Structure formats: C-alpha cells, structure tokens
Structure 1
Amino acid sequence: MDAPAQKRLRRAARIIVLDPDDRALMFRFDVPNRPPFWVTAGGECEPDESFDEAARRELFEETGITADPGSQIARTTPEFVTVEGEPVRADERYYLVRVAEARIDTANHTELEQCLMTEHRWFTVAELRDWPEAVFPVNIADMIEQELNP
C-alpha cells in the first residue's frame, strides 16, 4: 500500500490592514463549486522571498498600499485546498498595517485574483465574529483585539 502523498508546504504572508476606525480589510473569494469565503490581503511567498518581503509585495499588489508591514504578529499552520485546487500544508505569517484612509487600489491584481476576488470591504471586529460566510483566519477577530488591547 502506497503512503499518502506529502502535501506541499505553502509559505505565505498575510496582512491585516486596519483603517482609522479599526476596521479590517477583507477580500471575498468566489471559487467555483465552493462556498464563498473572506480572507485578508496576502499570498504565497516567492521561492527566494522572506515572509517580510512577501508581506510588503503582497500588500502593494493587492491593495496599492506601500508600507512597512512591521513585525510578525501571529502565525497559523492550516491545511487547506488552494483556489487552484491543490491540497497544501500552510505556514502563514501575519502582519498588521494601519492606513490613514479606507481606500485601496486593486489594479495590480493578477488575472486569477480578478476572476475570484469578487469583492472587498472593511469589517468591524464584531462583524468578523458574526459574519454568515467563512472568514479566514477563523481567529482574526481575536488577533485584532490582541493588537488593539495588548
């Protein structure tokens, strides 16, 4: 009997972007044959890229914001199926960036992001806790509150 194939390790930087009202920017994904879900800005690290470098690059590509992502605030290691359909083991590092205004530019989204990232909005912590669709990471409200009330 063959051993199950080892899932690829997917290194990713995720950025929690907070506006002046402490609302978090989230992107809605509509993937065919899957329920919609919401995630923070961010994505997979390039092979030669550090998590910090990926956070800076992903922040700009997905939001148009140029900012230092600062220090890592959290880490998760979920297993999931990517939007391309690949089962992975993830190593996700989280950063928090505050912005002066709730305005973003999605002009640098990839073709895949343009197809699947159908919406973005700013969520209060209470909305993140009670949203009827899946929100990832599942503990994002706790992550934000921990940063707001250290």
Structure 2
Amino acid sequence: MSDPLSFPVVPWGDGDATFTTNLGNGDEAPWAVVVFVVDGDRFLLGMVPRGWCTPSGHVEPDESPDDAARREVYEETGACVDRIEVIGRFVTRTRPDVVAHALVYVATVQERGAIPNGSESADARWFEIAEVASVYWHWDDLMQRMFEYALRCARSMVSPHEHEPQP
C-alpha cells in the first residue's frame, strides 16, 4: 500500500479534489459526509444512480455530521453503524475562491437489514478490497489512496479479537 498521508490532487467536475487528514479548525461546516463501512478487508457499497459507491450525502439543516453519516449508511445500505470515526476531509475546489469539504468517516456495522423504502440505493453489497477498483463508480489514484487509508484506520479502530465478520 502507498503512504497513507500522501494524497494526490485529481480532476473533479469543473475543478479538482483531494483528501486530507487535517480536520481543520471546525469553523467550516461540511457540505456532505462520506462513510467507508469496513468489515475485515471488505467495504459495504450501495448501488446509487451513479453506480457502486460508499454511503455519502449532504448534511441536512440542524443535523450533525455524525448523525448525517449514520443516516446515510442506513438509507443507502440498510446497515446500523456500530463504531464510527472521522478520518479526514474530502476537499473540492471549483474555482480558486470556492472550496468545500465533506467529512470522511470509517465505520463498522452492528447489523444490516433491508434497504429502506424510498432509498436512492437499489442494492448494497460487501466487496473485497481487491474488487472495489473494478466496480466503483469513479476510480482514480485519489480513490485508491482513500480506500487504503480507510482500511488502515478501520484496522486500528477494531482489534482482531473483538471483530466478528458480518454475513
């Protein structure tokens, strides 16, 4: 795996994007959350209109980012979060003066049920880390580094003797 603290800047929409482990000073509210749900070497992805993707979405008014992260995981995969930790920020820049960020989390789940009615997600599945690149909706060097980093963070969050894989 690559150095987890070195993240490339890649083209993103009309601008560029990167990832940082610097959480900032808390003055800037995140516009969204991204959640890497991990079980061993597997990631839980939802099939949303753009393709297989980590649970993610906007933070609603009067909702904390942590609550938004839990909600997005449930809405897009039917899973209830057990442990969750912020691991960084996904930062986009569309013009020199327009910068936005999403808080990025790593999480484990306590149980997984059916995807709720009305969800934008048509399916949810566990993918081995080796499979993710071939199915993820948008794969580039940044995504690869972020998945690697999320996996490392998840391994330090859950000790092996506590961890029991979910079906």
Q: Which TM bucket (shorter chain)?
A: 0.5 to 0.7
Match of 2:124 in 1: 120
Cα drift, residue 89 of structure 1 = 5.9
Code of the aligned partner of 1:49: E
Code of the aligned partner of 1:134: H
Structure 1 contact 62–106 (Cα < 8 Å) conserved: yes
Kindly provide the CA deviation profile for residues 49-102 of structure 1, in whole angstroms up to 9, marking residues without a partner as x. 22112112222333333335532012111368xxxxxxx96421111221356x
Structure 1 contact 16–24 (Cα < 8 Å) conserved: yes
Counterpart check, 1:13 vs 2:58:
no
Cα drift, residue 11 of structure 1 = 0.8
- Shift in CA distance, 122/11, structure 1 to aligned 2, threshold 3 Å: same
Question: Residues of 1 paired with 2:30 and 2:117: CA distance?
Answer: 22
Counterpart check, 1:134 vs 2:153:
no
Runs of 4+ displaced beyond 6 Å: none
Match of 1:62 in 2: 76
Alignment map for 1:72-83 (pairs within 5 Å)? 72-78=86-92
Counterpart check, 1:52 vs 2:66:
yes
Deviates more, 1:137-146 or 1:53-62: 137-146
Structure 1 contact 13–51 (Cα < 8 Å) conserved: yes
Q: TM-score, with normalisation over the residues of structure 1?
A: 0.62
- Structure 1 vs Structure 2: percent identity of aligned residues? 33
Q: TM-score, with normalisation over the residues of structure 2?
A: 0.56
Match of 1:93 in 2: 103
Structure 2 contact 73–79 (Cα < 8 Å) conserved: yes
Structure richer in strand, relative to its length: 2
> Out of 101, 107, 110, which is 2:116 matched to?
107
Question: Residues of 2 paired with 1:53 and 1:94: CA distance?
Answer: 13
Gaps of at least 5 residues in structure 2 are 1-28, 157-167
Gaps of at least 5 residues in structure 1 are 1-8, 31-35, 81-87
